Structure formats: structure tokens, C-alpha cells
Amino acid sequence: MNFVSLAGLLGVLISFISCEAPRETGFEDYRMIDLTHTFDQDTLYWPTEGRFDHERTAWGITEGGYWYSSFRFAGSEHGGTHLDAPIHFSEGKWGVADIPIDRLAGAGVVIDVTAQSASDPDYLLSVADIDAHEAQHGAIPAGAAVLVKTGWANRWPDAKTYLGSDVPGDTLNLHFPGVSPEAAQALAERGISMAGIDTASIDRGMSRDFRTHQILAGAQILCLENVALSDEVPARGSTIIDRHAHEDR
């Protein structure tokens, strides 16, 4: 089994790939793969938001004679690999602090639409894509964490190719794949816990009504965005664990 962990702001998405039956002593039999984009001066944010700021506040030997280092960081919620809590698009739903701990883990499912997205930067995951995945890999189980692979992670951190526009504040010329409202409804009906994608939004770049966000949030499904999804995470056989550090409230 593979074991994948996701964190929000300043988070880490790790894949633990099992080589054999795990021992009771820990994760010695798992290979770790970091699937989170680094937070630094190149981190991409939603075009209307500011950049990531990391300030050194202490670095060196103190008056007491011991070493001490300390930093301060700031940034918008919606940049880098992060989680959207349901309240982001649905009044009265969970903020991050409200999410039950058992909703932060689920069987990993990766639906690959890289071929479709390569020829159409505005591609939407369809119900047919979900059906085709299930026909090949089996039914998506309730409580699963479904990740949509478009190939966009390979474009990070070039804003022009990743977002479709590198103009600050420009939300009218964004082009990247997403999940259709119909597919979002189909995933909600399957009772998944999380839906993630390797682009800047679970809705495609040219969306104006964010219907997919609304559907998933209304069903208390957590959204994971800017996932640094690699070929090393299999279509089935992983466990996704969400470790977050920011919230929409």
C-alpha cells in the first residue's frame, strides 16, 4: 500500500510506497515521496493575492552564548499546496478546525486526464472520465481522497503556463483544467472525503461561478489544490492523509 500525506499552508504531501508488508515498528518499509510545492519566493498564488513573505528575525549567537534562529512568514491562504475548507464556498459548513479527524484520511484514487488536458488547457474532468477510471481500476470507495492528474504540476512555478496569465490581478484570462460540476456531483454521490487537483483551482481557470467548489463544499468535501502530483502516485492503492495549517473560516 502507498501512504500519502497532505498539509496545507507550509504543508508536506508525502507518498509512502510500501515494499512489503509493514512491520509494527513504523514506516521502515515505505518509500517517501514529497508531493508538495515548496513555499518560497517562487510560490504561485491566486492572481488577486500577494506573494509569500519569509523574514528572518534572528540568526546567530545570543548574548547568552547559545545559537538561536527565528523567522516570520506571511501569505494568502490560496497559494501553494493547500486545503479549501467547505466554508470557503458554503455558509455554515466546516472550517478547518471543525473537520472531523476521520475525514482527513482516505483511500487514494488518482484519475489521470493528462492526455485530454494536453490538447485542451480548459479541460474539465467528466463523469465519463470517472466511469472509465472505475471500469479499469474498480469502484471509487466511500471516504476516498480523489486526486485529478492533469499534468499541470510539471508547469510549476511558471505563472504564464500554469495559470494562463502572469499578470498580477488578472482573473479573466486564466486557463487551466478543472473538475466539471457534473463530475463533482458524481464524486459527491460516491461519498468521497476529499477531492484534489494539480492545478490552482478545483474549478477550471475560466470559471466564473465556481459551481464545482459550491457542490463539493455543500457536501462537506475537502478540496486540495496545487497538489504536486507525480507519476509515482498510483491510480489506486494509496492512503491520503491531510495535514493542514491554514483554514477558511
What angle (nearest 5°) sits at the alpha carbon of residue 74, between those of residues 224 and 82? Answer: 5
Catalytic residue among 88, 213, 244, 246: 88
- SS3 at position 40: coil
Q: With contact defined as beta carbons under 8 Å apart, do 46 and 30 qualify?
A: no
Q: With contact defined as beta carbons under 8 Å apart, do 43 and 55 qualify?
A: no
The closest of 164, 202, 199, 201 to 183, measured between CA atoms, is: 202
Q: Does the annotation mark 88 as catalytic?
A: yes
CA 111 to chain centre: 14
- The catalytic residue positions are 88
